[in-house]
Structure 1
Amino acid sequence: MKNKTLYLLLLFLAVNVFGQDKFEWKEVTENGYTYKTVSNDPMKARFYTLKNGLTVILSPTPKDPRIQAYVAIKAGSKTDPATNTGLAHYLEHMLFKGTDKYGSLDWAKEKPELDKIDALYEKYNKTTDEAKRKAIYHQIDSVSGVASRYAIANEYDKLMSSMGAQGTNAFTSFEQTVYTDDVPSSSIDKYLTVQSERFRNPILRIFHTELEAVYEEKNRGLDSDDSQVFETLFANLFQKHNYGLQTTIGTVKDLKNPSLVKIREYFNTYYVPNNMGIIMSGDFDPNAIIKKIDDNFGKMKGKPVPKYTFQQETPLSAPIVKEIVGPDAESLTMGFRLPGNKDKDVLIADLVGQVLTNGKAGLLDLNLVKQQKLLSASAFTYTLIDHGVLYLDAKPTTGQSLESVKTLLLDQIDLLKKGNFDESLLTSIVNNIKKGKIYESETYGSRASSLMDSFTSELNWRDQVAYVNDLSKITKADVVNFANKYLGNNYVAVFKRKGEPENREKVEKPTITAVETNPDKQSAFVKMVDEMPNTPSSPVFLDYSKDLQKSKLGAAEVLYVPNKDNSIFRLSYRYKVGTLNDLKESLAAGYIQFLGTDKMSAEQISKEFYKIACSFNISSGEEYTTVSIEGLQDNFDKAVGLYETIINNVKPDDAALASLKARIAKGRKDRKANKGAIMQGLTSYAIYGKDNKFNYTLSEKDLNATTANELVDRLKNLNNYEQTIIYYGPKPLNELVSSLNTMHKVPAKFMAASNKKDFKQVKLDKPQVLFANYDMVQAETRWIRNTDLYNADKTTLIDVYNNYFGGGMGSIVFQTIRESKALAYSTYGYYMAPQKKNEDYTILSYVGSQADKFNESTAAMNELMTTLPNLDGNLSLAKNQVKKDIQTERITQDGIIYNYLRSKDLGLNDDIRKKIYTQVDNVKMADLNTFHDQYFKAKPYTYAIVASDKNVKMEQMKKLGDVKVLSLEEIFGY
């Protein structure tokens, strides 16, 4: 009997393993269409090829009544002409401008003017004399003004908004240009009608103002040290390939000399169906959708697409070392050239990246970050079609040179090459990637994104489905051989040093006259799309008494939502103590990752969690400190038990604390060099005043005086505070409580946290400017003002107002400041709700512009803050967007619990969306005007400005209000 049982067990295992290995393409014909699919694909993706060569990839999943849709073109900056770099990116911008059917009031009158502009740009392109170029550009500006009288700006954005789309955008990279929309399932007919028209005959209208937006984007890149490092690395790794020879956004020279003729040639060459893909995931019937796509796109004509050819790179025989100087903190970036994504070694390359760093148990994680030898370090494989890169970056800690950082990274490469790592790490990596694949297939958005990347990268989806299985077959010897084959003395290293760059490039501002946008007009095509029949989804509101379950674990409340989809669990202990009670709570939360117990080192703890594909994290916010544990439900008891053992037996480590203090000091220094952090600090200063939440932090003296024992005491004492237990996972509630009852000991009585530090929002009586000097090309300005106490009854009006005024590409702010006046790449305006019922609303508007447009851009925003343009059509769109968002939003998983907790903080007992949905149709333009006059018009603002004092002068800022130049110490509190 035993032998028979053993035989059956072995047979079962053999069949199971064989089944796992069986990833095969199969062909299916349904409803007159043939598609291919891969066996055992969790996304159940269908791959169609229409008669004209168009690829259609469909992955149905019915959880949300929405569809993430991509129209992807297998062309990007790699295929830009060398004489017109940045062209693919230009074209991406122009695909939002409409066709001869929409975006135009009168195509017959508009076309002759556009033809004139075409000819002028060709003349401009070929002219070198600066005086003559200025004269030609003046003509372009003049004719553009005439042409704009017949144009309707942003009709595409309005079309998408009217059907309830979200995330309307596009992006361009080396070998892909992708147009993205997230649309309600009920609007799919409208979406396909618009897309097929969009790609039929795009018109390059309102070109010179959009070109100015690209200039702004270029200047933002020139202000970014990270962008400069990336471009330098690739330029030196790839000296014969367009990955390195040209950048996606293009050179300043080419940006200044655009050719509309070349842009059209590029469109006609690459935007053909046999080079395009439509990728969708969401709530739809694939048999119905493929017929609709064919009906809309089947008329496109395919034609041969030129293949990009290149010379092979000369092998690097010695390191190439470059330096970049800029205002951001110092860092080191290194790259090793690898094969392209079709090479047999690519799978091993992916594993090598994970062996070096996976966030938990890689060589860099354990040997450099865990031991606090560096401020940060990471490695990953960046694989493109023709070449790949092993990409490493690291930041030094206090007193550390970049040369020593490089030595540390190369030491880890040497360990890899010698095989000095535990072979079990490979199994752990595979298990964690399995978990990641579960997360990847959870949402329609991540499904579509994965399928789209696979298409534009020309990957075989069969290999992607078999990825984990194939990865598990790689041995330690394979990894070691790969490292020795590719990772020698053949790298490029870029030292990013702190300092003032010399001869910083800048795209100069041309003279541009604001163009007409005709925002109150509508084309016949748009009217036709709006009138297409569709049946919207019915909204689904939360009922907190039914959608989440409650229980008790001793004195602690348990909030529970079951996971009925997969084997993932997420558990949190939410303790009612935070940094506003005790600043050292955050320090303790960060300290624990470097500590061990009497039986396990910090490194062993990381390895144990990674081995079971689980993780834990402690984070401390203003009011709560949260312990988060997540992973595979099969390992729930192991993960929770391991965490409880650690927290109860954690040991102080003076050396680890000394290293942590040094890293915190370096991190603080680095934050002072980051313009985003500086703006965040200015914003907090504007909201709360001199003493604010941003600069409320441990002083250097208090930090240095902190002992290891007091931090460990805080960690061990954490469980004595009032707590809420949050769980999302497959385990039934009663079993969860029973299981936690044996592992998580809740005290009979909770300890009260110390009194909370209170910050009051300041009220302004006159305008002021808060200025921080930063070496940059652009100027970034925020308008900030606190208003009234939170009032739930205003939520509907505020949501509509934000959509109308400054919440998207179809908003008044975007249309005026970017589309009409070409003053900024990024701009917005919101009336922000607080997180607590006893807090005030805050107005937050923003313009990021070239410094030489500072006066114009601030004047333009102030004009909008003073006088609200009245556009009934835009109001209808704003109301419609709010309504459709609610109709298709599905709050699920542990999102239900966190929605409930946020509602409690605002004093709400019910899902506020129900009230918004019933009220939104009643909002009138008069309501918006009254609201605008009450809170925006003729009110004093704080202008938070980050810019170079060489480019934005004191007299310019004084026109806005009293100027206070803040030091970094005032902003950061240290």
Structure 2
Amino acid sequence: MKIKLSIMLLLTGLSASTLKAQGPYVWKTGKSGAYNYKYVTGDPTHSRFYTLKNGLTVILSPTEKQPRIQAYIAVKAGSKTDPADHTGLAHYLEHMMFKGTDKYGTLDWTKEKPLLNKIDDLYEQYNSTKDEAKRKEIYKQIDKTSGEAAKFAIANEYDKMMTGMGGQNSNAFTSFEQTVYTEDIPSSSIDKFLTMQAERFRAPVLRIFHTELEAVYEEKNRGLDSDPRKVQEALFAAMFPNNNYGKQTTIGTIEHLKNPSLKAIRKYYYDYYVPNNMGVILSGDFNPDVMIAKVAKNFAYMKNKPVPPYKFAPEAPITSPITREVYGPNPENLTIAFRFPGASTRDARILNLVGSILANGKAGLIDLDLTKKQKLLSGSASADILKDYSVLTLRATPAKGQSLDDVKTLMLGEIDKLKKGDFSDDLIPSITNNYKKSKIEQDESYVQRASNLMDDFTSGVDWRTDVATIAELSKITKADIMAFANKYLHDNNYVVVYKRQGADKNVIKVDKPPITPVEVNAGKQSPYVQMINAMPANPVKPVWLDFDRDIQRAKSGNVDVLAVQNKDNSIFRLYYRFDMGSWTNKLLPMAAQYLQFLGTDKMSAEEVSKSFYKLATSFSVNTSTDLSHVIISGLQENFNPSVTLVENVLANCKPNEAALTSLKARMKKSRENFKLNKSAIMQGLVSYAQYGADNPFNYTLSDEEIDAVTADQLVNILHSLTGYKHTILYYGPQTATQAGTTLSQLHKTPASFTAYPVKKQFTRVNQSKNMVLFANFDMVQAEIQWVRNEATYSPAKTPTIELFNGYFGGGISSIVFQNIRESKALAYSTYANYAQAQKKEDNDIFVGYVGTQADKMNEAIAAMNELLNTMPESGEAFKAARENIVKSIETERITQEGILFSYLAAQRKGLDYDIRKTTFETAGKLGFAELNAFHDAELKGKPYTYCVVASDKRISDDDLKKYGELNKPDIKQIFGY
């Protein structure tokens, strides 16, 4: 289940009478050619809202910064409107909308259609049959007929079209009341895009269904392995016994997954995929006067029809706490939630502000009272704004030795403070200031613009509310918040979910059905796709970085300043960059953590946080293995006080023994929790595969070393940080010279820098034979990664590697995905990637991945190994991958501080130029022979280390030993503590 939310966008909290007087933010109407539209005065995104004759909503937000367009096609229907006897249906349909129509995705529709009709009927029989023996016989017929139908299908022609036109991030998602299809395309390909989208939604064909159904089974099993998903589902089930928010889940029940009905899916499409229930949202490089005519022409065929209304019985008030328990392998945590009215109400709009008062990551009640004082490991608050109801959710993770009931008492205590108004008078103005910064940053991005517009459309929120947010926030008082909190937040009207560690006895996995691999015809192409590919696209001239031209240089004292000027708005981002990290000093990450709990001789830690938040300034010290950054971002009007505050904190932070004691306990508890995270375990195995038992992942402080650390040691690291050589990176309204002059007064450095300590060196293992690294984890699925160390970095290989990744393992139309998921239904998620090193002296690495059911592990490994030894040739997929690289680079624009980081990344690779130019000029000339030669030289017949995370109750040692010498490092060996 994915719930996509706009955070901090609905914060008016105004009465109906106040809404009538909106100052500069009012709806107006305009006209361009034959099309009327609405817009909000004062809207910095200049968004236009059209309603076509057939009821289709079209929202256009033009911006010329990049020659690309973020597109959302949104349907106001999701799992909430699933039939009660076919839950998961909206999500099924989302998957099937990628399968094509009678025009594409098929080699011969007249021969395919009768077979698909037969499959329809067989599923109806299967759905209504209870006798298991008869069901198995029917399923055999489904499997057989599906194989026959697949001979006429072309899998993923949709993705190939998108790839060929330079599309990126092709995807879709379903939540309670929205199903959204998302694409990021070159603006030059808009005619192709609209033509194929109109066809896509005209008459989708539910082909290659049973293998896609197996992918949904896998997604369900992944959900059964996800403790956060189980918590969310338990929470909503308790909160909404009458509404489908709680009565059904987005992915559906196991019983319904096992008994799908294609006819029910098709009925859902005809009921809800109608123009008056849909929106086309576009943001990017286009002329809205031209764009609206294009959209209207392509979608004019759609016919308006009534949409079945969703009806539900209102929820009864919660009069006593409702308690639920969820079990799983992840660390314990607690969730508390209160119910509120839906998105279109005044109270839902003010709820986001309440969430920010409770927790905003800096100066909220939970931040200062609980997190800053280390009374718990972590705590947060957020508002989920849905159409029918909204939810205020508080989440917390206990510290060492702390019970979940202790956590509950602490979190509810912060609710009491909210009700009493026990928070700073300047907190609401500070939130307003931070929102001002956030809104500016969001409006910079064509992707974020489209996302915000889409969210408001699907939840029925007035866009004017978004535009007016900053102005309206200033009108809300502490008294308003107190009245609101006392109205809704009582001692007994909440749901609490205890996430406990332990085996979940209720998990029943979706069993693997017998599936015969189907033909995907990857190398074939329908006439429709040929027509789309032949459509003209306006040429776009690529733009390369010229590091001498695009980067301004100056000095701040004896520190180099690299700058890119922000000529668009008042945002600045400042970095002090150090060529040292945890490999240089294992205490550096701990010192960076310690800093957030320290004050100075004149300010407490809480006052420091409040001061940053009041300035709308973000400040952090981030460390990696070999780099560290002091990062400051905010509004240029607050540049001087922000930098001054950072310098003061770094230079004058004072040891705090109590904070250190709590930090040590916090670190140990976090580390214990980290060892219960399957992704972290896999990360450890991959590092072990690359470097052996002594590797970067487990190069960390032991518990004994943590105990021995003193406050003075950590504070001395922070005090001396700017005494090491570093570079200043600046993106903001000032020039490099101006920034350097300003910083020379604020950022004091010594006459000569301290030399960096000697860095820890790691040596990659020479993989001479197959190995298997296994870690046990209580889960339904099995996750496998193939790891192989490759040669050192070579820029000459970059074009080939980029094309290889796109063709072989990098997307929906890739060879790996097509073979393992589409044809054989062995995984929900699978990929392969050859990653080039980040430094010229380092090795490249190849990683392949399959997440599958444990009982399909051997089949999945065999499928990936077959591809590693023999790469199939698909001419159309190869052309699409090659075209995608060319068009993606052609329309890519590296901007803002991305220019600076691109320059520094190139330096680390020994380059003084933009390597994208080489890739652009070379990739288009590569043929399949070059790609196959690369595959054979780097992957074929090579030894790999198989990293496997799974339950030892589902995977046997004998199975694992088939693939290489078995090593089962224990958790301490993996993590180093």
- Aligned pair 1:932/2:972, yes or no? no
Could you tell me which of 900, 905, 912 is aligned with 1:909? Answer: 912
**What is the 5 A alignment of 1:336-415?**
336-415=338-417
Counterpart for residue 577 of structure 1: 580
Which one is further off, 574-583 or 191-200?
Answer: 574-583
Take 1:655 and 1:382, find their aligned partners in 2: how far apart are those partners? 36
Counterpart for residue 680 of structure 1: 683
Counterpart for residue 288 of structure 1: 290
Counterpart for residue 331 of structure 1: 333
Take 1:854 and 1:892, find their aligned partners in 2: how far apart are those partners? 44
DSSP-derived class of the 2:651 partner: helix
Q: Given residue 508 of structure 2, which amino acid in structure 1 is its aligned partner?
A: E
Q: Given residue 296 of structure 2, which amino acid in structure 1 is its aligned partner?
A: D
Q: Given residue 730 of structure 1, which amino acid in structure 2 is its aligned partner?
A: P
Counterpart for residue 793 of structure 2: 790
Counterpart for residue 742 of structure 2: 739
Could you tell me which of 252, 255, 261 is aligned with 2:254? Answer: 252
Take 1:602 and 1:111, find their aligned partners in 2: how far apart are those partners? 69
Take 1:536 and 1:398, find their aligned partners in 2: how far apart are those partners? 60
Q: Given residue 82 of structure 1, which amino acid in structure 2 is its aligned partner?
A: A
Take 1:272 and 1:233, find their aligned partners in 2: how far apart are those partners? 32
DSSP-derived class of the 1:922 partner: coil
Which one is further off, 611-620 or 506-515?
Answer: 611-620
Could you tell me which of 774, 799, 802 is aligned with 1:799? Answer: 802
Q: Given residue 402 of structure 2, which amino acid in structure 1 is its aligned partner?
A: Q
Which one is further off, 355-364 or 465-474?
Answer: 465-474
Take 1:870 and 1:121, find their aligned partners in 2: how far apart are those partners? 34
Question: Is the Cα–Cα contact under 8 Å of residues 377 and 393 in structure 1 kept in the other structure?
Answer: yes
Take 1:292 and 1:646, find their aligned partners in 2: how far apart are those partners? 56
Take 1:135 and 1:691, find their aligned partners in 2: how far apart are those partners? 54
Q: Given residue 406 of structure 2, which amino acid in structure 1 is its aligned partner?
A: S
Counterpart for residue 429 of structure 2: 427
Which one is further off, 271-280 or 467-476?
Answer: 467-476
Could you tell me which of 622, 641, 645 is aligned with 1:619? Answer: 622
Q: Offset at 1:873?
A: 1.9
Could you tell me which of 597, 603, 606 is aligned with 2:609? Answer: 606
Counterpart for residue 132 of structure 1: 134
Counterpart for residue 190 of structure 1: 192
Take 1:285 and 1:589, find their aligned partners in 2: how far apart are those partners? 47
Take 2:249 and 2:880, find their aligned partners in 1: how far apart are those partners? 37
Identity of aligned residues (%): 57
- Aligned pair 1:543/2:543, yes or no? no
Q: Offset at 1:279?
A: 0.1
**What is the 5 A alignment of 1:417-816?**
417-488=419-490, 489-816=492-819
Take 1:676 and 1:624, find their aligned partners in 2: how far apart are those partners? 23
Q: Offset at 1:227?
A: 0.4
Q: Offset at 1:761?
A: 1.5
Counterpart for residue 158 of structure 1: 160
Query: Can you list the C-alpha shifts for 1:908-939, whole angstroms capped at 9, x where unaligned?
Result: 01000111111112212111121111111111
Q: Offset at 1:19?
A: 11
Take 1:140 and 1:500, find their aligned partners in 2: how far apart are those partners? 36
Q: Offset at 1:555?
A: 2.3
Q: Offset at 1:575?
A: 2.0
**What is the 5 A alignment of 1:771-920?**
771-920=774-923
Take 1:440 and 1:620, find their aligned partners in 2: how far apart are those partners? 26
Query: Can you list the C-alpha shifts for 1:710-745, whole angstroms capped at 9, x where unaligned?
Result: 100000000110100000000222221111111111
Question: Is the Cα–Cα contact under 8 Å of residues 564 and 731 in structure 2 kept in the other structure?
Answer: yes
Question: Is the Cα–Cα contact under 8 Å of residues 552 and 735 in structure 2 kept in the other structure?
Answer: no
Take 1:920 and 1:350, find their aligned partners in 2: how far apart are those partners? 48
Take 2:206 and 2:881, find their aligned partners in 1: how far apart are those partners? 27
DSSP-derived class of the 2:309 partner: coil
Q: Offset at 1:872?
A: 2.0
Counterpart for residue 975 of structure 2: 972
Query: Can you list the C-alpha shifts for 1:655-691, whole angstroms capped at 9, x where unaligned?
Result: 0000000000000000010001101111111111111
Take 1:621 and 1:674, find their aligned partners in 2: how far apart are those partners? 20
Query: Can you list the C-alpha shifts for 1:799-842, whole angstroms capped at 9, x where unaligned?
Result: 11111100000100000000000000000001111111001111
Counterpart for residue 118 of structure 1: 120
Over 3 Å counting, the alpha-carbon distance change for 1:19 and 1:887 in structure 2 is farther
**What is the 5 A alignment of 1:123-272?**
123-272=125-274
Take 1:772 and 1:929, find their aligned partners in 2: how far apart are those partners? 34
Runs of 4+ in 1 over 3 A off after TM superposition: 17-20
Question: Is the Cα–Cα contact under 8 Å of residues 127 and 133 in structure 1 kept in the other structure?
Answer: yes
Take 1:100 and 1:872, find their aligned partners in 2: how far apart are those partners? 23
Take 2:275 and 2:755, find their aligned partners in 1: how far apart are those partners? 66
Question: Is the Cα–Cα contact under 8 Å of residues 523 and 873 in structure 2 kept in the other structure?
Answer: no
Take 1:183 and 1:536, find their aligned partners in 2: how far apart are those partners? 14
Q: Given residue 382 of structure 1, which amino acid in structure 2 is its aligned partner?
A: D
Which one is further off, 465-474 or 194-203?
Answer: 465-474
Question: Is the Cα–Cα contact under 8 Å of residues 109 and 152 in structure 2 kept in the other structure?
Answer: yes
Q: Given residue 537 of structure 2, which amino acid in structure 1 is its aligned partner?
A: N
Structure 2 length normalisation: TM-score? 0.97
Could you tell me which of 90, 93, 102 is aligned with 2:92? Answer: 90
Q: Offset at 1:130?
A: 0.8
Cα RMSD, aligned residues only: 1.1
Take 2:627 and 2:843, find their aligned partners in 1: how far apart are those partners? 21
Q: Offset at 1:18?
A: 13
Counterpart for residue 102 of structure 1: 104
Counterpart for residue 320 of structure 2: 318
Counterpart for residue 23 of structure 2: 21
DSSP-derived class of the 2:596 partner: helix
Take 1:34 and 1:910, find their aligned partners in 2: how far apart are those partners? 48
Take 1:501 and 1:810, find their aligned partners in 2: how far apart are those partners? 36
Question: Is the Cα–Cα contact under 8 Å of residues 229 and 494 in structure 1 kept in the other structure?
Answer: yes
**What is the 5 A alignment of 1:918-957?**
918-957=921-960
Q: Offset at 1:20?
A: 8.1
DSSP-derived class of the 2:954 partner: coil
Question: Is the Cα–Cα contact under 8 Å of residues 576 and 721 in structure 1 kept in the other structure?
Answer: no
Gaps of 5+ in 1: 1-16
Take 1:344 and 1:792, find their aligned partners in 2: how far apart are those partners? 57
Which one is further off, 865-874 or 103-112?
Answer: 865-874
Counterpart for residue 14 of structure 2: none
Take 1:18 and 1:390, find their aligned partners in 2: how far apart are those partners? 28
Take 2:861 and 2:579, find their aligned partners in 1: how far apart are those partners? 42
Q: Offset at 1:482?
A: 1.1
Take 1:787 and 1:360, find their aligned partners in 2: how far apart are those partners? 43
Take 1:962 and 1:875, find their aligned partners in 2: how far apart are those partners? 36
Question: Is the Cα–Cα contact under 8 Å of residues 347 and 471 in structure 1 kept in the other structure?
Answer: no
Gaps of 5+ in 2: 1-18
Take 2:127 and 2:776, find their aligned partners in 1: how far apart are those partners? 37
Q: Offset at 1:63?
A: 0.3
Q: Given residue 437 of structure 2, which amino acid in structure 1 is its aligned partner?
A: K
Question: Is the Cα–Cα contact under 8 Å of residues 120 and 136 in structure 1 kept in the other structure?
Answer: yes
Q: Offset at 1:536?
A: 2.5
Q: Offset at 1:32?
A: 1.3
Q: Given residue 543 of structure 1, which amino acid in structure 2 is its aligned partner?
A: D
Q: Offset at 1:43?
A: 0.7
